[in-house]
Amino acid sequence: MPERKEKFYLTTPIYYTNGLPHVGHTYTTVVCDTVRRYKRMRGYDVVMTTGTDEHGVNVERAAKKAGIPESEFVANMAEAWRALWDELGIAADEFVRTTDIKHVRAVQWLFKLCKENGYVYKGHYTGQYCIYDNAFVNDAKPGENCPDCGRPLETLTEQNYFFKLSAFQKPLLDFYRKNPDFIQPESRKNEIVTFVEGGLKDLSITRTTIRWGIPVPGEEPHVFYVWFDALTAYLSAVGGPDYEKRGMWPADVHFVGKDIIRFHTVYWPAFLMAAMLPLPKQVWAHGWFLMDAAKMSKSKGNVVLPRPIANMLGMDALRYFMLREVVFGQDGNFSYDSLVTRYNSDLANGLGNLASRTAALIEKNFAGRVPKPAERQAQDDALAKEAQSAIGEVLERFDKMEFARALEAIWGVIAAADKYLTTEQPWALGTSEADLERKATILWTSAELLRIVSALAHPVLPDSTAKVWTLLGQTTSLDSVELDGLRWGQLVPGTALGKSQTLFPRVEKTEAIERIESMANEELNSASAAPKPASAPAAPATTAAATAAPVVPEKIGIEDFAKVEMRVGQIKTAERIVGADKLLKLTVDIGTEIRQICAGIAQYYEPEALIGRKVAVVVNLAPRKLRGVESNGMVVAASVGPEGRPVLAGFLEDVEVGARLK
């Protein structure tokens, strides 16, 4: 433990405001929050920054589409991001918005320093630009698509300010050599070193074609290019020009996804070197959460939303799953099936069951007070030893960002305790003095183990471990417990247990998945019901968005209705989906093609009766997976009665397949 409080500064990327958080963004943020909590429990003075990246042509266009000023648009979106983080137990200390005045000043200051030191010059640039990623794509030819997101590039020629990135090839390579831990994991380091060794081109850092950006002082209409603007957020969050006063800079670790590692390990240190400012100590690039082997993205229609999962299983379940399931640094697959399986086995049957069993037995046998252990037997000592040695192992794993291994070690101890209770059977002991003593020893041991486990797992499961802590009668706040002082044997006999509560009620898998998916669909539908920005929902279905200034006009114009392409379709095949009671898988002829569409009508329609039926189909809905089955369009139905019974819309006259509904 540090003697006096050592500082630790960590950051998430700042997220674009033209979309809402999905499980991918949530992952980076949860990791960062976990480390923040962990470091605090190791006695550090910690600051964590997250925030929103609010400038650029995407936002300009999205706001225009939504019919509101950019400032209002980004304020709504920032609020929605902030609210979701709150709901997921993310306790960032700083939420920086790139439209904050303190950030604007910091960017202008950094530019001035780079310019004064001779690393900035004026020039012309013509190139292929991806408006979605806010980046020129080097070497791309006109007419090509963006190699990252696959969307069309645009040709742009501008007078720009350039940053002399080319001057930093050697300094950067020297820096990587002298700071071997700067880029993590190791595999990513090689990729970056090879890239820098290949030569660095100067970088255009301002734009004159974009209006929505931070102005370059005295050089209007130049505004800063998004990455020069965005990266500076890490510094502006902790003081900007006055960073020395706050004492947090340089960052100890920037957590990022592998998609943006180059910006963080090449551009960012080069900007800082040019300005002669201290460099961050580490950039940790994790892998992607994949859905069916592809990176989640709204345009692919394969995003998983965090809120429905948190609503159904609790935010801790999502946090636990993300950190337990994937080796940090590598890509991982997201599946509702494994999420719910882990929830039931590790949380409901594991931690939850151990806590409720132990508390109930103490309640029943010792009037709700932690009993005083009597003489210990070998098996008690063995469990104590296992728990004590887990403390060291877990800390070591957390230090190395091996979250899955840390959790594995903690759950190893939980499993051992479970086995111990099953073997010792305290419930089968009688009321003789010897039996009571034995019972006391067993239950004290089990409760002490729970105390240790709660403290160790707290950074990952802040909510439920705090409940176990209170259940064990602990009055200090679990956040403030110092892990370095955690030892076996500190549970004081006689402590009155707190009120018992259900931690993780077991769920039935199929039903849980259906509920999560239906909440997710509702959230996506209500977001897309609003006139939305090019690549993002404008009116997110969040509590925060609901209270923020409304984005949605009460009535829509005909041009909005025209966006929905509805056509007459004819059902060709219909079948039930195994494990999804409510869904039917249909193939529907829409005139130009045969589409596969899932419809939530299985409880009301027999598949055979649907063959040949003509229905109204929304054909330009982004494809989406339902229970792992792709659904490419939507069959329109009325929702009848309080239970929302679906009644398919149809036609009284014969209509041609493919005819458009207007």
Closest approach, Cβ 49 to ligand MSP, in A, equals 10
Q: Where are the alpha helices (DSSP H) in 531-644?
A: 543-547, 558-561, 607-610
Q: Whole-angstrom Cα distance, residue 227 to residue 229?
A: 5
Return the number of the residue (175 or 263) whose C-beta is nearest ligand MSP.
263
80, 135, 230, 323: which one contacts ligand MSP (CB under 6 A)? 230
- Minimum separation from the CB atom of position 572 to ligand MSP (A): 34
HEC-encoded secondary structure of 496-537: ECCCCCCCCCCCCHHHHHHHHHHHHHHHHHHHHCCCCCCCCC
Nearest partner of 314 among 89, 540, 79, 466, judged by Cα = 89
Residue 51 contacts residue 94 (beta carbons within 8 Å): yes
The amino acid occupying position 286 is H
Structure tokens at 133: 């990623």
Q: Which residue, 85 or 366, has its beta carbon nearer to ligand MSP?
A: 85
Residues in contact with 118: Cβ distance below 8 Å, sequence separation at least 6, in sequence order:
164
Task: Please report how the helices 433-457 and 462-471 are oriented relative to each other, as an axis angle in degrees rounded to 10.
Answer: 150
Kindly state the smallest distance separating residue 25's Cβ from ligand MSP, in Å.
4
Q: Measured from the CB atom, is 59 or 566 closer to ligand MSP?
A: 59
* CB 252, CB 49: distance < 8 Å: no
Q: Which is nearer to ligand MSP, 53 or 60 (CB)?
A: 53
Among 259, 418, 575, 589, binds ligand MSP (CB under 6 A): 259
Interface mask (CB under 6 A) for ligand MSP, residues 275-314, using x and -?
-------------xx-----xx------------------
Is the N-terminal amide bond of 13 cis, ω within 30° of 0?
no
Residue closer to ligand MSP (CB basis): 567 or 625: 625
**Contact string 355-374 vs ligand MSP (x = CB under 6 A):** --------------------
Residue from 8, 9, 16, 469 in contact with ligand MSP (CB under 6 A): 16
Cβ at position 518, least distance to ligand MSP in Å: 23
Place of tokens 């930093």: 168
Return the beta strands (E) in 84-232 as ranges: 94-97, 120-130, 135-136, 154-163, 183-184, 203-204, 206-207, 223-224
Instruction: 537-544: list long-range contacts, CB under 8 Å, 24+ apart.
Output: 537/19, 537/20, 538/62, 538/65, 538/66, 538/73, 538/76, 540/20, 540/77, 540/80, 542/20, 542/80, 542/83, 542/84, 542/307, 543/83, 544/79, 544/80, 544/82, 544/83, 544/84
Task: Tell me if 249 contacts ligand MSP by CB under 6 A.
Answer: no
Smallest gap from Cβ 305 to ligand MSP, in A, equals: 12
Closer CB to ligand MSP, residue 233 or residue 471? 233
- Amino acid identity of residue 625, one-letter, is K
Of 309 and 602, the one with the shorter C-beta distance to ligand MSP is 309
Please report, as residue ranges, which positions from 35 to 54 form the binding site for ligand MSP (by CB under 6 A).
53
CA distance 420 to 122: 72
Q: Which is nearer to ligand MSP, 297 or 573 (CB)?
A: 297
By C-beta, is 260 or 417 nearer to ligand MSP? 260
Structure tokens at 235: 């510094």
Q: What is the DSSP letter of 219?
A: S
Candidates 8-16, 121-129, 243-251, 548-556: pick the segment binding ligand MSP (CB under 6 A): 8-16
Q: Whole-angstrom Cα distance, residue 256 to residue 279?
A: 16
The label of the residue with tokens 């669909």 reads 521
Q: Which is nearer to ligand MSP, 15 or 420 (CB)?
A: 15
Q: Which residue is associated with the tokens 């989406």?
A: 624
Question: What phi and psi values does residue 407 have, to the nearest 5 degrees?
Answer: -70, -35
The residue among 251 and 347 lying less far from ligand MSP, judged by its C-beta, is 251
Do strands 94-97 and 45-53 pair parallel, antiparallel, or not at all (unpaired)?
A: parallel
Q: Which positions from 124 through 183 interact with ligand MSP, judged by CB under 6 A?
A: none
Beta-ladder partners of 285: 256
Give the residue, chosen from 8, 9, 10, 13, that forms a contact with ligand MSP under the rule CB under 6 A: 13
Among 8, 9, 15, 163, binds ligand MSP (CB under 6 A): 15
Closer residue to ligand MSP (CB): 76 or 344: 76
* Total Cβ atoms within 10 A of residue 569: 28
Among the residue ranges 9-17, 37-45, 174-182, 466-474, the one whose residues contact ligand MSP (CB under 6 A): 9-17
Stretch that binds ligand MSP, among 23-31, 460-468, 478-486, 631-639 (CB under 6 A): 23-31
Q: Which residue's Cβ has the minimum distance to ligand MSP?
A: 24
615 scored as a contact of ligand MSP (CB under 6 A): no
Least separation, in Å, of the C-beta of 272 and ligand MSP? Answer: 13
* Residue of the chain from 8, 27, 73, 249 that contacts ligand MSP (CB under 6 A): 27
Which span sits near ligand MSP by CB under 6 A: 164-172, 201-209, 256-264, 583-591?
Answer: 256-264
User: Least distance (Å) from ligand MSP to the CB of residue 322?
Assistant: 9
Q: Does 256 bind ligand MSP (CB under 6 A)?
A: yes
Site residues (CB under 6 A) for ligand MSP? 13-16, 24-25, 27-28, 53, 230-231, 233, 256-257, 259-260, 288-289, 295-296
